[in-house]
């Protein structure tokens, strides 16, 4: 019995120790499929988040990431959510002059799951993925994609 | 009585099994999304100062930096002809010994791989993938670099879009893993490698055929370079960083002469043929520089990049 116990413990350790790689591969699949929705745009980076249910104002709603954009480039932002959650979540692009409450754009504002943005000032911008209206009854996950459409000459 | 003690022994064993199983799960979950991983003594030494200051701030700054493929995509979009002589020769990269050099090289070669990807140079892609794999192995991030898949895509597939996407994803996963394992200094070197190699490519392209768009890409890096230096100066207490950082500080001084003016304007929203909304801000920047300013900046960028690969 003792030997079986040790065997199970050792086996489970090895199974779960490779968890990080498996998790990375799973994430890669989600990101890869979302990136492909951008058409001919070239994938640059992704924004991956797990959204916990938000029932009160004190709960943390989503995540924000800083992102450096280059002047003169047309970028594409895409939001992917599991089926059934598309209307609950939004991706927002903002910066210090256009805060999240008055952003450059969001998937909610533009009414779809993607939008393009021509950067006219090189610098740090922010992307957030959050529940719309600040609240979400069910936990979910979401992937945002930033891709390169072209130079705006 | 015998049956009772049999059940008692078995229930103890089952509890032990549950405990061992839970322990295995708990140990393995340390590699999850939010938890720190096991840190080696070397790593702690490598990143100790950063951890004392503010790892969150550094990681946020590092994370914001452009992707290794962005400059290459920009250059290709400007219809500039391909030239392999702009890239870091893989034989030179083979001589990178220390972790400092390897992390810097990993960034530079990732930018070069981006360049090869957008120009669809399959043979050279395999050569650069092999070099990157060697560095990823040495930095212990090879598990995030899908070498076999990428090699297969490069050699036996016409799906270069997938190759491009997967190689950029691998880069981000390696970078993220370094930050998660508190090796932010190596991550900072990777983004430095990507940035300097991207700028070097832009400078070489501009020297080959001068163009207003390319000039503005180079001249417009003032704020981005300043952000990069914010990251790098966190590691100023390390002698190799200090020497390298001084070169970037000298470059930033040259940018003092470049004036970036913010012009107000009205935002425009249009829809393209696929009905994707396009936001064009009215507010934009004018970059004011002289030919001499640009030449000095280009020469300095080329000098820094060449110094870095001959470490």
Determine, for residues B279 and A118 on separate chains, whether the beta-carbon distance falls below 8 Å. yes
Say what the pLDDT of residue B167 is: 93
Shortest CA distance from A18: residue in chain B: B28
Low-confidence ranges of chain B (pLDDT < 70): 1-54, 311
Please tell me the predicted confidence (pLDDT) of residue B87: 97
Among A122, A142, A144, pick the best mutation site for testing chain B contact (most B Cβ within 10 A): A122
pLDDT for B273: 82
Residue B37 has what pLDDT? 34
Q: Please list every residue in chain B whose beta carbon sits closer than 8 Å to the beta carbon of residue A72.
A: 213, 216-217, 220
Percent of chain A with pLDDT over 90: 50
DSSP state letter for B142: G
How many contiguous H segments (helices) and E segments (strands) does chain A have?
3, 8
Residue A16 confidence (pLDDT): 45
* Contact state of A124 with B227 under an 8 Å Cβ cutoff: yes
pLDDT at residue B26 in the model? 41
At residue B5, the pLDDT reads 47
In the block, which residue shows the tokens 């020297």?
B207
Q: What confidence tens digit (pLDDT) does each residue in A39-83 have? A: 889 999 999 998 888 777 777 788 999 999 999 999 999 999 887
In this complex, how many residue pairs, one in chain A and one in chain B, have their CB atoms less than 8 Å apart?
A: 171
ipTM above 0.90, yes or no: no
- CA-based nearest residue in chain B for residue A108: B277
Residues of A in contact with B217 (CB under 8 A): 70, 72
pLDDT of residue A86: 61
pLDDT at position B13, please?
A: 54
Q: Specify whether the CB–CB gap between A92 and A16 falls below 8 A.
A: no
- A135 confidence band (pLDDT: 50, 70, 90): confident
Q: Which ranges of chain B would DSSP assign to H, the alpha helix?
A: 2-28, 41-53, 55-63, 70-77, 90-93, 99-118, 122-138, 147-156, 160-180, 184-208, 212-219, 222-232, 239-255, 291-309
Give the Cα separation of A47 and B7 in Å (integer): 52
Tens of pLDDT along A16-32?
444 555 555 667 788 88
Report which of residues A96 and A24 the model is more confident about. A96
Q: State residue B54's pLDDT score.
A: 67
Averaged pLDDT, A108-128: 94
Give the pLDDT of residue B7. Answer: 44
As a whole number of angstroms, the distance between CA A34 and CA B243 comes to: 42
**Residue in chain B lying closest to A126 (CA):** B64
Contact A66 B61 (CB under 8 A): yes
Q: What pLDDT is stored for residue B25 in this prediction?
A: 41
Domains of chain A (ranges, CATH numbers): 2-151 (2.60.120.380)
Q: What is the 3-state secondary structure (H, E, C) of B255-267?
A: HCCCEEEEECCCC
State residue A60's pLDDT score. 77
pLDDT on residue A23: 57
pLDDT at A22 (0 to 100): 54
Query: What whole-number distance in Å separates Cα of residue A57 and Cα of residue A62?
Result: 12
Confirm if B171 and A28 have CB atoms less than 8 A apart: no
Q: Which residues of B179-206 are buried (b: 16+ CB within 10 A; e: fewer)?
A: bbbbbbbbbbbbbbbbbbbbbbbbbbbb
- Predicted TM-score (pTM) of the model is 0.82
């Amino acid at each position: 019995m003792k030997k079986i116990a040790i065997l199970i413990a050792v086996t489970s350790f090895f199974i779960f120790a490779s968890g990080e790689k498996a998790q990375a591969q799973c994430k890669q699949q989600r990101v890869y499929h979302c990136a492909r929705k951008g058409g001919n745009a070239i994938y640059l980076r992704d924004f991956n988040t797990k959204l916990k249910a938000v029932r009160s104002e004190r709960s943390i709603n989503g995540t924000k990431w800083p992102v450096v954009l280059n002047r003169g480039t047309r970028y594409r932002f895409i939001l992917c959510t599991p089926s059934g959650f598309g209307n609950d979540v939004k991706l927002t692009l903002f910066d210090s002059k256009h805060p999240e409450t008055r952003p450059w754009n969001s998937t909610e504002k533009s009414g779809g799951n993607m939008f393009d943005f021509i950067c006219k000032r090189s610098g740090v911008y922010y992307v957030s993925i959050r529940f719309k209206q600040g609240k979400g009854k069910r936990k979910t996950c979401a992937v945002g994609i930033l891709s390169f459409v072209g130079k705006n000459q | 009585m015998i049956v009772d003690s049999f059940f008692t022994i078995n229930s103890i064993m089952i509890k032990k099994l549950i405990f061992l199983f839970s322990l295995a799960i708990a140990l393995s979950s340390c590699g999850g999304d939010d938890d720190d991983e096991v840190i080696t003594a070397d790593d702690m030494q490598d990143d100790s100062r950063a951890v004392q200051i503010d790892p969150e701030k550094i990681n946020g700054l590092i994370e914001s930096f452009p992707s290794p493929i962005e400059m290459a995509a920009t250059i290709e979009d400007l219809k500039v002809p391909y030239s392999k002589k702009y890239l870091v020769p893989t034989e030179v990269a083979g001589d990178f010994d220390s972790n400092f050099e390897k992390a810097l090289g990993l960034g530079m070669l990732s930018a070069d791989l981006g360049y090869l990807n957008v120009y669809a140079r399959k043979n050279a892609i395999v050569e650069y993938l092999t070099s990157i794999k060697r560095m990823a192995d040495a930095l212990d991030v090879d598990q995030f670099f899908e070498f076999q898949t990428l090699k297969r895509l490069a050699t036996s597939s016409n799906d270069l879009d997938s190759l491009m996407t997967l190689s950029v994803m691998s880069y981000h996963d390696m970078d993220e893993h370094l930050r998660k394992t508190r090796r932010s200094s190596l991550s900072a070197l990777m983004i430095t490698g990507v940035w300097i190699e991207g700028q070097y490519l832009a400078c070489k392209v501009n020297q080959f055929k001068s163009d207003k768009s390319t000039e503005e890409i180079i001249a417009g890096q003032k704020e981005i370079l300043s952000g990069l230096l914010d990251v790098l100066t966190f590691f100023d207490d390390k002698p190799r960083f200090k020497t390298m950082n001084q070169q970037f500080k000298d470059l930033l001084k040259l940018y003092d002469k470049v004036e970036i003016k913010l012009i107000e304007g009205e935002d425009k929203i249009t829809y393209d043929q696929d009905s994707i909304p396009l936001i064009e801000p009215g507010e934009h920047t004018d970059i004011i520089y002289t030919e001499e300013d640009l030449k000095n900046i280009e020469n300095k960028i080329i000098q820094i990049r060449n110094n870095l690969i001959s470490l």
